[in-house]
Amino acid sequence: MIRADTPLRRLTVAAGLLIAVLVACGREITAPVSSPNGSTGSPFARRGAVTFAPAYELAVPTKAVPAALAQVAFERVRVTLRREDGTIALDTVVSFPSGADSLVLALAVPVPTNAPASGVPLSLNLGYVNAAGDTVFRGGPVPVVVVPGTGGTPPAPVRVPVQYTGPGANAARVVIAPRTALGTPGQTVTFNAQAQTSAGAPLPGTPVVFTSGDERVVTVDATTGLATLQGRGTAKVYAQLLTGPADSATVTVTLPAARLSLVSGNGQNAPAGTALSQPVVARVVAADGEGVAGVSVQFTAQNGGSVTPATAASDGLGTVTAQWTLGPAAGGQTLTVASAGLTPLTVAATATARPAVRLAVATAPTGGTAGAVLAPAFTVAAQDAAGRVVADFTGSVSVAIGANPNGATLRGTRTVAAVNGVATFGDLTLDKPGAGYTLVFNAEGLASATSAAFTVTAGAAAKLVFGSLPAAVDAGVSIAPPLTVTTQDASGNAVTAFNGEVTLAFGTNPSGATLSGTLTRTAVNGVATFDDVRINRSGSGYTLTASAAGVTSATSPAFAVAPGAAVAIEVISGNSQTANAGTVLTPITLRVRDALGNGIGGVTLSIAVTSGGGTVAPTSTITDAAGSASLTWTLGPISGAQTLTVSATGLGNAIVSATATGGTTNQLAISTPPTPTQTAGVPLAPAVVVQAKDGLGVVQTAFAGAVTASIASGPAGAALLGTTTVNAVSGAATFSTLRLTKAGTYTLQFNAAGYPAATTGSIVVSPAPAKSIFADSGNGQVGAASAVLAQPLVVLVTDSLGNPVSAATVAWAVATGGGSLGGQTTATDANGRARATWTLGITPGAQTVSVTSAGLVGSPVTFTATAQGVIATTTVSPQLDTIVSFNATRALTAQAKDGAGSNMSGTFTWVSRNPAVATVNASGVVTA
């Protein structure tokens, strides 16, 4: 047993001899010492001798000591002896050459001249030093006695603990891996060990010693950790640090499996299809007859039987156990027990027969497809009272539909003879989809069996079928309710799984119509829905086709398309004729249509002469099936444009025009003109009245046409506001809201269809009362103090419409700066402006002038100017510069200051005094 708390090494020291012996790493140092007497008068005039007798004890089996110590090389040993007062009696370093097993040393230990014969007590310390100067082992302090002179019997040995102090000496623990190993003799496994701190940090380079707890089971290389498995059994492999902490792994050695043996379970009897009363027990054994654990064994039942488990691993005694259920047929049955590389075993049993009492569905499909064979096939077993299959039953079993949710028909072989107690129905079909179908199975003398409910889905998509068409289809309107196209299988069942694209097109198209809308739709649950399909022409005998990839197309029943709602009256022919006044024109053809141009019959039209004084027949008519109607128009006596108006309830009017020649001329006359002076933005007064007259000047009271007013002449950008188009009443159009917003001189013109224009005399529009005042120009100037500014100050006065207002009173005053005003006007001119000149005050800086006009928005108006003093200095930067290449440039800047040192603004003029050498532009950029 390894003791982790035992020191790794111990050294025994004996005093009173003349030999010094040190042992480390399997090497021995021998040091005979003779001590000559010291010089006279010295308190240590005598010499003594001391002997260190080796007695190492390693806390692992002794045979691992050399390997353990070999991991910690050192090349010298330091020996220190101290007196009781702490002074050093001897401190020497002994070199220990590489490869040496022992070394003879001569050590002289001074002792006092009055040292007693029993010797001088000292304290011994040892230090083992490697090539790097690190002390890898330390021993002591321990008390020893130095006996003066030579000879005498040494005292009993004194044990000196030696502690490892090299790399990893601070390790708190060591961890070995792997933790377990399993194998057979001759196999090897390498163990690794890691020294760690208390926090788990690894300490590389720490020496570790590996040992075996039982070398009959496993041996291990003390340095490398390579373990070799030796013989059956379990043993520990230890990893230990030189400071004591240790860890261990478990090694289990087994012998390989040699054969299988049957323990129990052979020769039993039981009813067919039942489990044997006793399990089958087998054992895996090695060559020495002992059980072998962990070997995989397979059980295989013949004759339709079963076994649980089918595969098992042997336990610690090599044993495996399985439960055997016999097959359904009576008679002898067998079970095979096998394992890789071993001779299999055969176990026998006898199955006895049982009477069948009922049927049971053994296998059944969970679903099927309409018209397709139900798969997997239904199998129905004859069972005994315990529910076991009776293999001897060979009677007939018949099948019929139980639950039939969709009225399906069952087809196929519906009576089948059982084989080994099982009847198989391999060709059954149902022709309709549905959920919840069941089948019922019967056999003479046995209780019937009913299958679990199952679902039959539609077959593969085979064809398309139109849903019912609406009773009425209107031209240009989406067919409603939406068209539907259903996908069906060959039996006519809807195929809800189909999700392909279905496309609509015309089959027959008697009116040359256009089919519009989304004509390709993706089927959802087997149905493609078309909710925006439109046909733009009315007619009878239309059909549609529906097509999709991989299925047969469908054609709809014939249907008619009715025109849409009437939206307009059209003049088809006879419009815009020219003929002599009073003559009959070529007949005029009218048509009532929907928004898509389809004619609409049965619409009542009213026709009236609206200008020219002619006659029309009939004055009321009904359109035929094509939506048409004809008129005869006799022109009136007046030359020029004449019109008919055709109307129908809910529709706009249609105007038929003609031009009469050789008759009298119509005219427009301004019976009430506006006065010559008007105010901007105010309705013209009096209201303007325009009359329609014939060529004889007689007011045409029947005239009710539109008369439109417009500007014939006037200021640019002017606009005529108000109601500019008025329908005549009794031949007169009255304009009561006309107004002009821009001041100036105008003429107005009035127009009506078929009449020459009428124009007013001049109308002068004056501005409205003054509303606003604001600075027009001259603000923000900069000038010399006490000087007149370059630009005059100008204010503008306008009315609410932006027209300049003349004769508006304004008042000018200097607000700040002490300057003066000159030439100021106190009333605005014809353009709405007033002016003044401004002489700045003497003080440089900002100065202001205030302009007021009582009651106006924006009053007072403030003008601001900046007064500058006289330039006192001008500075150019840089003052001196050198340009070293032609066409190179430099930018100069200049700053002017007045007498107070303030910067002044303005524009500098740049001039080169020697243009042949350098030129300067207006911005001060010099070019060489």
| Model pLDDT, residue 152 | 54
CATH of the domain at 864: 2.60.40.10
DSSP 57-77: --SS-GGGHHHHHHTS--SEE
DSSP state of 718: -
Alpha helices (H) in 226-352, listed in sequence order: none
Clarify whether residues 152 and 31 are in a common domain: yes
* Nearest C-alpha neighbor of 373 from the set 443, 441, 426: 426
Does 4 score more than 80 pLDDT?
A: no
Mean pLDDT of 158-169: 80
**How does pLDDT run across 855-886, given as a tens digit for each residue?**
999 999 999 999 987 777 888 888 777 777 77
Q: Is the Cβ–Cβ distance between 449 and 361 less than 8 Å?
A: yes
Determine contact, residues 926/886, Cβ cutoff 8 Å: no
Q: What is the CATH number of the domain that holds 452?
A: 2.60.40.720
Tell me 155's DSSP state. P
Q: What is the rounded average pLDDT of the residues 53-78?
A: 57
Give the total residue count for the chain: 928
**Residue labelled with tokens 């042997």:** 314
Does the pLDDT value for residue 803 go beyond 70?
yes
Handedness of CA 454, 459, 460, 465 (dihedral sign): negative
Q: Of 19-28, 277-286, 600-609, 910-919, give the lowest mean pLDDT range.
A: 19-28
Calpha distance 126→106 (Å, rounded): 16
pLDDT of residue 863: 96
Note whether 124 and 136 are same-domain residues.
yes
The residues, any chain, with a CB within 8 Å of residue 86's CB and separated by 6 or more, are none
- pLDDT above 70 covers what percent of the chain? 89
Using the predicted structure, report yes or no on whether residue 54 has a pLDDT greater than 60: no
Which range is least confidently modeled, 115-124, 203-212, 613-622?
115-124
Residue 346 lies in a domain: yes
Whether pLDDT at 265 is above 50: yes
Q: Answer whether 378's CB lies under 8 Å from 355's CB.
A: no
89 found inside a domain: yes
Q: Is residue 90 part of a domain?
A: yes
Q: Is it the case that residue 413 has pLDDT exceeding 70?
A: yes
The predicted-structure confidence for 315-353, as pLDDT tens digits, reads as follows: 989 999 999 999 978 889 999 999 999 999 999 999 987
What are 469-492's pLDDT values in tens digits? 877 788 988 999 999 999 998 888
Report d(CA 138, CA 9) in Å as an integer: 10
Paired tokens of 233:
């059994």
User: Which of 30-39, 198-207, 777-786, 871-880 has the lowest average pLDDT?
Assistant: 30-39
Average pLDDT (755-779) is: 92
Residue 240 has pLDDT above 90, yes or no: yes
Label residue 241 left, alpha or beta by phi (over 0 means left) and psi (-120 to 50 means alpha). Answer: beta
Residue-averaged pLDDT of the chain = 86
- Structure tokens of 878? 């840089």
Q: Using CA atoms, how far apart are residues 298 and 307, in angstroms rounded to an integer?
A: 10
CA distance 127 to 93: 9
pLDDT of residue 62: 39
Tell me the DSSP string of 218-250: EEE-TTT-EEEE-SSEEEEEEEEETTS-EEEEE
Return left, alpha or beta for 293; rule: phi > 0 is left, psi -120 to 50 is alpha, else beta: beta
How much is the pLDDT for 901? 72
448/528 same-domain check: no
Over residues 833-841, mean pLDDT: 94
Q: Is the pLDDT of residue 2 over 50?
A: no
Residue 871 to residues 39, 789, 902, Cα–Cα distance (Å): 113, 17, 10
Does residue 216 share a domain with residue 139? no
Tell me the residue range of the domain where 591 lies.
566-664
pLDDT of residue 45: 35
User: What whole-number distance in Å separates Cα of residue 66 and Cα of residue 51?
Assistant: 24
Is residue 154 over pLDDT 60?
no
Return the closest-CA partner of residue 779 out of 789, 765, 766. 789
Q: Dihedral (C-alpha) 228, 231, 233, 236: value to the nearest 10 degrees?
A: -30
The single-letter DSSP state of residue 675 is P
Of 16-20, 134-138, 707-711, 872-876, where does mean pLDDT reach its minimum? Answer: 16-20
**Residue where one domain finishes, among candidates 639, 664, 689:** 664
* Overall average pLDDT of the 43-59 stretch: 39
Residue 59 or 266, more confident:
266
- ∠ Cα 164 169 175 (to 5°): 115
- pLDDT at residue 17 above 60? no
Q: Are residues 733 and 817 in the same domain?
A: no
**Residue 355, CB half-sphere, CA atoms under 13 Å: how many?**
4
Mean pLDDT of 829-852: 93
Mind listing the pLDDT tens digit for each residue in 645-696? 999 998 889 999 999 887 666 789 999 999 999 999 899 999 999 999 876 6
Residue 32: pLDDT band (50, 70, 90) is: very low
- How many structural domains compose the chain? 9
Task: Please check whether residue 883 is in contact with residue 890, taking contact to mean a CB–CB distance below 8 angstroms.
Answer: yes
**Is residue 3 one of the residues assigned to a domain?**
no
* Same-domain check for residues 435 and 368: yes
2 falls within a domain = no
Phi and psi, residue 69, nearest 5°: -70, -30
CATH number at 236 reads: 2.60.40.1080
Select from 457, 473, 489 the last residue of a domain.
457
Q: Is residue 1 part of a domain?
A: no
Q: With contact defined as beta carbons under 8 Å apart, do 757 and 695 qualify?
A: no
- Has residue 31 been placed in a domain? yes
If you ran DSSP here, which 8-state letter would residue 645 be given?
Answer: E
Domain edge (last residue) among 403, 423, 457: 457
893 with 911, same domain: the answer is: yes
Does residue 37 register a pLDDT over 50?
no
Helices and strands in the chain, H and E counts:
1, 86
Compute the distance between CA of residue 381 and CA of residue 117 in angstroms, rounded to an integer.
Answer: 113
The reply to whether 620 and 528 lie within a common domain is: no
E strand segments, 8-102: 9-15, 19-24, 27-32, 46-51, 76-82, 88-95
Residue 886 lies in a domain: yes
Q: Are residues 623 and 689 in the same domain?
A: no
Neighbours of 323 (CB within 10 A): 16
* In contact, 180 and 76? CB cutoff 8 Å: no
**Pairwise pLDDT comparison (477 vs 70), residue with the higher score:** 477
Contact 625, 592 (CB under 8 A): no
574 shares its domain with 650: yes
362 with 391, same domain? Answer: yes
Q: Are residues 671 and 758 in the same domain?
A: yes
- Contacts of the segment 512-515: beta carbons below 8 A, 24+ positions apart: 512/537, 513/475, 513/537, 513/539, 513/542, 513/561, 515/544
Q: Give the per-residue pLDDT at 158.
A: 61
